[in-house]
Structure 1
């Protein structure tokens, strides 16, 4: 149990819920800062890669891959660190890589170093792994109502990040003119400092009663991972995130390649990130009303519709419409899969399960973002979007499998 979750074991339920609400507001503000780091980097990472590479433009998305690789490599260490030092200290420490990453990427652009730029993106991605833990910190304690509201509020904070990130990128990209993009990446460092300042205000929460209520011994990770429901949840989460990362990483390259401007690409990503997080204010209610599986299915349907829109045209409306559908589809698919995952572990098992889940999600996302550059310069934009269909069918088959097993157990 993280130290943020320990607090005062004698605290009343009302006091705990009050602290949960206060921390949710703080984590929402932190999401506005920390959540804006990746949109800034993603908007320009592929373009900077292409700018720095004289030859073989298929490698241009390696910096974007480094972002998600940094996240993947940091998920388990982040969970382990916070188990030792607590959420608050862990989040502050987790902001440091992005502080360094912003400076490193800026220097790399100014000196024309592709490898150094990719390393700076890797550092920035490490912080993103800690930011992903905000959704888990929001539900560390308190009543069911308080936790659900806190989760929706924190995930909804991504709306602020969707505005702050791309707008900061647009406003600062020419700070070091005539060399483009360097200013936008330097801005990442300042946002990371703001993020650390905000999370330092978090207070510890006691949920000792909720953990003590379940006396069953913790199972091994391999035993948990063999559950069909776990496999389906992780597959749907991985697929939603990987497909989103694949299309999102290639979209700025495709837009500029089709004659649209860099600002069009940045604003497209802004609309996309808004669509990723704005539904969070009501996705929880949809899950409660219609069930986790149906919400995931709706997400897969929206991702497939995104592919249809992308394949049928290359106008600004097609790109922006597809990116919006991609964002909403990711929200339903990823949040629904996250809710499914909570069915598969006991409270005392959550740390290792959450760490494994996020590692698998970000590792797959890193592979997809790397493939985006290769595929875009090979088969092309249409092929990238066509990949969505077989993956969506695979996820639907996994959901049908778990539903069949459940019906057999109930028979």
Structure 2
């Protein structure tokens, strides 16, 4: 990626951080507004489609960005991805004005493509620093998700009021925020320095892509963490509503979860730098298992057990996410690093779609207890496999 001065490194980190914060703000608000628009226009049975479109777009965007980064550089690839996201947000805004479901889903899909590039920004941040500081660098970009998690929902009501003042449908307001946020992200990355792409690694004739052993560990752990986290998180609001709790309680419990997911990311980065990615991953899987046990033991304790369980769920995921990302940023050859990182992210985000769809079936078949048990098993299984492998 070339050698940067301290000023260039600071500028690059600022641009990467800003782009991720704005894309997260756009995706959180757009997904929520899209869910409500589809539910109102096509019925609750189809309300999960915006989330699925966003996740699939993110998976495709991560894969595409990972393939393009080695040959085209950070600024071009992120600018292109954020430009696609801005175009998608405009399509979604027009669809929100007309209450047209299919164009809305297309727009959300395209915003997801840009978000895939934003997710890879954590690796680009890690590449700016020496190996012993990469965990902290990438965790600072992960922390940018805190801004989106807070700003996206907070801007929805004011944006809806502004839209109504123009005579537009109220839910078009949050979609308009997504237009501004994605455009801002596209502008932010233009301050990134031009970088010289690394030489491509020659591929032996007749051989396909090689998956090093160093990829298998973070891939297995990150997929398991994503499945467990999304499954339990998605069904928690339904569990609370089934026991008579309103949106205030749901919001409080989910806030504890979002705090765990993003706010402590710098701490996870320091753990990864101090004790290594493998320890960070294993601790994260253990915390996820503890979260599932807490949810199973106190499934209706909305003031104690569930907020603690959801916080642990978020932070366990964060530890695995940061630890796995740190290992992928350290142990892969520069010529193949971006391609493999993008592929891993694509698989992880695809797992989100599977977890979101499967958790509903688990909840319908065995209630919240079954969801918690499956989440715990998903965390413990790779933990047992990885620890036993380390022992050999």
The reply to whether residue 313 of structure 1 matches residue 303 of structure 2 is no
Q: Give per-residue Cα distances to partners, 1:186-212, cap 9 Å, x unaligned.
A: 31111111111211111135697xx89
**1:304 shift after superposition:** 2.5
In the alignment of these two chains, the number of paired residues is 386
Q: Which moved more, 1:341-350 or 1:245-254?
A: 245-254
The reply to whether residue 231 of structure 1 matches residue 220 of structure 2 is no
Secondary structure at the counterpart of residue 225 of structure 1: coil
Q: Who is 1:155 aligned against?
A: 142
The reply to whether residue 195 of structure 1 matches residue 185 of structure 2 is yes
Counterpart mapping for 1:241-390 below 5 A: 241-255=226-240, 258-262=243-247, 265=250, 268-311=253-296, 312-314=298-300, 316-317=302-303, 319-342=306-329, 344-376=331-363, 379-390=366-377
The reply to whether residue 38 of structure 1 matches residue 38 of structure 2 is no
Indicate if the aligned counterparts of 1:46 and 1:252 stay in contact, CA closer than 8 A: no
Indicate if the aligned counterparts of 1:46 and 1:249 stay in contact, CA closer than 8 A: no
The runs of 5 or more residues in structure 2 that have no matched partner are none
Indicate if the aligned counterparts of 1:68 and 1:362 stay in contact, CA closer than 8 A: yes
Q: Partners of 1:247 and 1:46 in 2: how far apart?
A: 19
Q: Partners of 1:283 and 1:170 in 2: how far apart?
A: 33
**CA 1:263 to 1:329, structure 2 compared with 1: closer, same or farther past 3 Å?**
same
TM-score w.r.t. the length of structure 1 is: 0.81
**CA 1:256 to 1:189, structure 2 compared with 1: closer, same or farther past 3 Å?**
farther
**CA 1:308 to 1:108, structure 2 compared with 1: closer, same or farther past 3 Å?**
farther
- Alignment match of 1:93 (pick from 64, 80, 83): 80
Q: Give per-residue Cα distances to partners, 1:227-263, cap 9 Å, x unaligned.
A: 2x43222110111123223333444455555544446
**CA 1:37 to 1:316, structure 2 compared with 1: closer, same or farther past 3 Å?**
farther
TM-score w.r.t. the length of structure 2 is: 0.84
The reply to whether residue 26 of structure 1 matches residue 15 of structure 2 is yes
Secondary structure at the counterpart of residue 193 of structure 2: coil
Q: Who is 1:399 aligned against?
A: 386
Indicate if the aligned counterparts of 2:12 and 2:193 stay in contact, CA closer than 8 A: yes
Q: Who is 1:76 aligned against?
A: 63
**1:403 shift after superposition:** 0.3
Q: Partners of 1:166 and 1:17 in 2: how far apart?
A: 35
Q: Partners of 2:136 and 2:19 in 1: how far apart?
A: 17
Indicate if the aligned counterparts of 2:59 and 2:347 stay in contact, CA closer than 8 A: yes
Q: Partners of 1:289 and 1:149 in 2: how far apart?
A: 10
Indicate if the aligned counterparts of 1:20 and 1:146 stay in contact, CA closer than 8 A: no
Q: Partners of 2:369 and 2:102 in 1: how far apart?
A: 29
Indicate if the aligned counterparts of 1:45 and 1:61 stay in contact, CA closer than 8 A: no
